[in-house]
Structure 1
Amino acid sequence: MAGRKRVFNLLRTIDVASCKCPAHSHRGNIQVSNATPLKDYAFEIKCSTVRYGIGVTREVGLDMVNFESKNVCVMTDPNVANLSPMKAVLDSLAKTGINYKVYDKVAVEPTDKSFKDAIKFAQENDFDSFLAVGGGSTMDTCKVANLFACHPENELLDFVNAPVGKGLPIKKALKPMIAIPTTSGTGSETTGVSVFDYEEIHAKTGISGAALRPILAIIDPLHTLTVPEKVANYAGFDIFCHALESFTAIPYTERGAAPSNPSLRPAYQGSNPISDVWARFCLQTIQKYFARAVYNADDLDARSSMHLAATMAGVGIGNAGVHLCHGLAYPIAGNCKTFVPKDYGHNPMIPHGLSVVVTAPAVFRFTAASDPDKHLEAAQLLGADITRVKQADAGRVLADTILKYMDIMKIENGLSGLGYSSKDIPNLVKGALPQERLLKIAPLPQTEEDLSKILEDSLINY
């Protein structure tokens, strides 16, 4: 049975949406005002056009013809540059005679420095369209290259989210961009968000705006067959947390004041009935296919399903938002010391999905009090038996469910397994505090002490 708060929210939504014509407007003593409401009352769903199908990459050359493209910027990373997804893309462009230039220096887990190098490449060439082939790092880098090719007068921090940057709105239309993801995780192919590691503060931050969103996302499951086990593992936990965080985010009617102009409504609006549909779909897909996709690289059915789930999670987070797991992940990844993950090269780094899931059990123990029913539903969608479970135990049940997945996937044992100790907690909290756009999407407000406790509880997970 739905909690009282959810029932009241539904009634308020029905009241606002009800017909106002004379025949149907006699609904009691209700006052309607033209003033901007104190709380938001609407949400928007925006995402890229999604095209899904095995082998669908062959169509990208014709897409560029349809865009009337004359000079395409193709971006990828050094690993994908030599793999079959890139060959399929270049073959398609060659067949249609499209002129293109390849930038294959995208950094995995990009930084402000790597962004600037890609921006320089884009500004030095007169590109009329952009094409990203790779994981979230490539898609985010391509978005920013497109942004600053169209805004050569601006500096990187002008558009970066406040308080790290100025948070200026993006007012110009960008060049058409197509995203072809090769991993199943970020969902960046559908979002207007680009994330990078700002080295000066040892934490990730980002740029967000509807203009950044690719015009088309081409989802070709064949590309997932080249993904190594650990990459599939960590990227899958990004889908996992995208779904859980957007599903449990603060309701859109409670996020804050309604904007004075609808164009000012933020990208991250809080949980809503449509983003919840995608979150449920993703959690059900994870329950059925996640382990199969990680441990059976040739299981096209499983990898196809996780590939689609990543895109659908992107639609959810791109409109509802993510909260504490991601807010804490940014300094966790940004302060990496010695951890070198398998299948990611030889340099110390903490892959995004790993940095996100490592605090997830503690995060959802903390947030469960905001809506026990929804937290229990999430656990059930992931396969937990919630029969006779009390609402007071919702956080424990969801956390235990998450830990079972982490155990099956052999995730490192907490922050201590990534090289952190209690003495690092204050610095990690300091790095999380600037992530205001994420922290405010959490269903409960947090103090610095709350963030410290979540991190302390995440030092050892098993």
Structure 2
Amino acid sequence: MEYFGTIRAPREILFGFGQRRALGAIARRLGRRALVVTDTRLAADADFRAMIADLESAGIVVRIEAGTLPDVPVESAVAAAAAARPFDPDLVIAVGGGSCLDMAKCVALLLSHGGKPQDYYGELKVPGPVLPLIAIPTTAGTGSEVTPVAVLSDAERSLKVGISSPYLIPDIAICDPDLTLTCPPGLTAIAGADALTHAIEAFTAARRPVTDGLTQERVFIGKNAISDQFALRAIALLWEGLEAACAVSTDLTARAQVMQGATFAGLAFGVAGTGAAHAIQYPVGALTHTAHGQGVACLMPWVMDWNRPVIGRELGQIATAIGLASGDDVIPAVSALFRRIGIPPTLSDLGLAQNRLAWVAEQACSIERLIQNNARPIARADMLRLLSSAFTGNRSLMATA
């Protein structure tokens, strides 16, 4: 049913240069005691200190939690929630990259419902609303400011894990491209490539049979008419702005395009979900310790190649959106863009050992919520062929699949 669709989003999204200066007035509508979650570097940043001053001048009592670590180790979120509990916040504000936003979501959850993060792994395990949450991204990549997902690192599982619930969608997202101007080229590239991968996977996700209960039974419902609009627009924005933002950090137009593209991609995949590139990156990332955005972007052209027999229509629509002659040009063009901004083109270049391909295939296939959302089914033998292609750079290895 092509007219079926849904979207889940913050109740208010502010986008534009300087919009961070509305924080005090917005926060005052939601609470009086704000826990502000960030990391050590940003806590000393002039823009961050100005936002804190704005909150305080609005009459809000502030406690700063600056202990966010990359990839949010589970124990760090538990410790932050325990430390904040005596402060008794009635509002959580996240300022930073995806890890800061995910940390804030998890802390808001633990402060609201108790327990430990492991109690909420998976989909729809959060029992009700969490503390009001304002998300202010300083990178343009994860889209966490608008998504129902918090991703954590669990050492016991040796993989990243997710908590997925509409209750984790921030109440307010303030997306100010000014905050990305100091983001270095390498991080801009990795974050933007992550966003482009989100948009492509959402746009080419499996389309599920529509039932009356689909939107209530799943967080990620697959490709649909509404998420497609955000995904395709995100692809166009990122295509136009990403390389320029990496090349000239002060290019205001490019920075705005990339940040808006990342937010739109978040709106798209926050309901449609992602697919095999993300499933494979979880075990690949655990082995190589490479950035998430770098891994999914490395994998995206290979997964698109696997999906090609069933996504011809979508490739044609992408081609139109980004000004290519035909859908046949899309995958080579995406590969070339990623190469130009420094994304490794193969799993070998990413640092994966060839003798771990079978383990990666097994682990990736076990992440059923992502594999089932992929446009084309992938059995374990197929997955191994896909991985072999992505490792060697030889697309012909998928021809026998």
Specify the alignment match of 1:374 in structure 2.
Answer: 314
Q: Distance in 1 between matches of 2:366 and 2:84?
A: 29
Shift of 1:379: 3.8
Specify the alignment match of 1:93 in structure 2.
Answer: 55
Specify the alignment match of 2:290 in structure 1.
Answer: 350
Specify the alignment match of 2:101 in structure 1.
Answer: 139
Asked if 1 retains the 8 angstrom alpha-carbon contact of 2:140 and 2:195, the reply is yes
Alpha-carbon deviations, 1:64-89, whole Å to 9, x = none? Answer: 2112x221110011222222331232
1:253 to 2:209 alignment: yes
Secondary structure of 1:180's aligned partner: strand
Shift of 1:427: 2.1
Instruction: Give the aligned residue type for 1:267.
Output: V
Specify the alignment match of 1:125 in structure 2.
Answer: 87
Secondary structure of 2:145's aligned partner: helix
1:421 to 2:353 alignment: yes
Asked if 1 retains the 8 angstrom alpha-carbon contact of 2:5 and 2:225, the reply is no
Q: Distance in 1 between matches of 2:74 and 2:391?
A: 29
1:214 to 2:214 alignment: no
Deviation larger for 431-440 or 226-235: 431-440
Distance change (3 Å), C-alpha of 1:301 and 1:168: closer
Shift of 1:435: 2.1
| Structure 2 segments unaligned to the other structure (5+ residues) | 395-401
Match of 1:323 among 267, 275, 281: 275
Q: Distance in 2 between matches of 1:264 and 1:78?
A: 39
Shift of 1:149: 0.7
Specify the alignment match of 1:242 in structure 2.
Answer: 198
Distance change (3 Å), C-alpha of 1:80 and 1:369: same
Q: TM (normalized to structure 1)?
A: 0.81
Distance change (3 Å), C-alpha of 1:433 and 1:122: farther
Alpha-carbon deviations, 1:328-366, whole Å to 9, x = none? Answer: 111111222xxxxxxxxxxxx411110111111110111
Match of 2:243 among 291, 294, 300: 291
Specify the alignment match of 1:71 in structure 2.
Answer: 33
Report % sequence identity.
28
Secondary structure of 2:54's aligned partner: helix
Asked if 2 retains the 8 angstrom alpha-carbon contact of 1:203 and 1:431, the reply is no
Distance change (3 Å), C-alpha of 1:85 and 1:431: farther
Count of residues in Structure 1 that have an aligned counterpart in Structure 2: 393
Alpha-carbon deviations, 1:358-414, whole Å to 9, x = none? Answer: 11111011111123121232244344321xx7xxxx4xx433122111221122242
Alpha-carbon deviations, 1:84-111, whole Å to 9, x = none? Answer: 3312321211221210110111012222
Asked if 2 retains the 8 angstrom alpha-carbon contact of 1:71 and 1:128, the reply is yes
Greater helix content? 2
Asked if 2 retains the 8 angstrom alpha-carbon contact of 1:364 and 1:398, the reply is no
What does 1:52-451 correspond to in 2, within 5 Å?
A: 52-67=15-30, 69-152=31-114, 154-161=115-122, 169-253=125-209, 258-259=212-213, 264-336=216-288, 349-386=289-326, 394=328, 397-451=329-383
Q: Distance in 1 between matches of 2:198 and 2:376?
A: 17
Q: Distance in 2 between matches of 1:329 and 1:399?
A: 19
Instruction: Give the aligned residue type for 2:71.
Output: E
Q: Distance in 2 between matches of 1:125 and 1:430?
A: 45
Q: Provide the alpha-carbon RMSD of the alignment.
A: 1.9
Asked if 2 retains the 8 angstrom alpha-carbon contact of 1:197 and 1:334, the reply is no
Secondary structure of 2:250's aligned partner: coil
Asked if 2 retains the 8 angstrom alpha-carbon contact of 1:45 and 1:319, the reply is yes
Asked if 1 retains the 8 angstrom alpha-carbon contact of 2:124 and 2:164, the reply is no
Instruction: Give the aligned residue type for 1:312.
Output: F
Q: Distance in 2 between matches of 1:299 and 1:379?
A: 25
Secondary structure of 1:47's aligned partner: coil
Secondary structure of 1:130's aligned partner: strand
Q: Distance in 1 between matches of 2:212 and 2:126?
A: 20
Q: Distance in 2 between matches of 1:258 and 1:430?
A: 34
Q: Distance in 1 between matches of 2:160 and 2:291?
A: 12
Instruction: Give the aligned residue type for 2:13.
Output: V
Specify the alignment match of 1:39 in structure 2.
Answer: none
Q: Distance in 2 between matches of 1:124 and 1:439?
A: 42
Specify the alignment match of 1:22 in structure 2.
Answer: none
Secondary structure of 1:359's aligned partner: helix
Q: TM (normalized to structure 2)?
A: 0.93
Distance change (3 Å), C-alpha of 1:422 and 1:383: farther
Asked if 1 retains the 8 angstrom alpha-carbon contact of 2:124 and 2:219, the reply is no
Runs of 4 or more consecutive aligned structure 1 residues displaced over 4 Å after TM superposition? none
Asked if 2 retains the 8 angstrom alpha-carbon contact of 1:122 and 1:146, the reply is no
Q: Distance in 1 between matches of 2:177 and 2:351?
A: 35
Distance change (3 Å), C-alpha of 1:434 and 1:78: farther
Instruction: Give the aligned residue type for 1:451.
Output: M
Instruction: Give the aligned residue type for 1:363.
Output: V
Shift of 1:116: 2.4
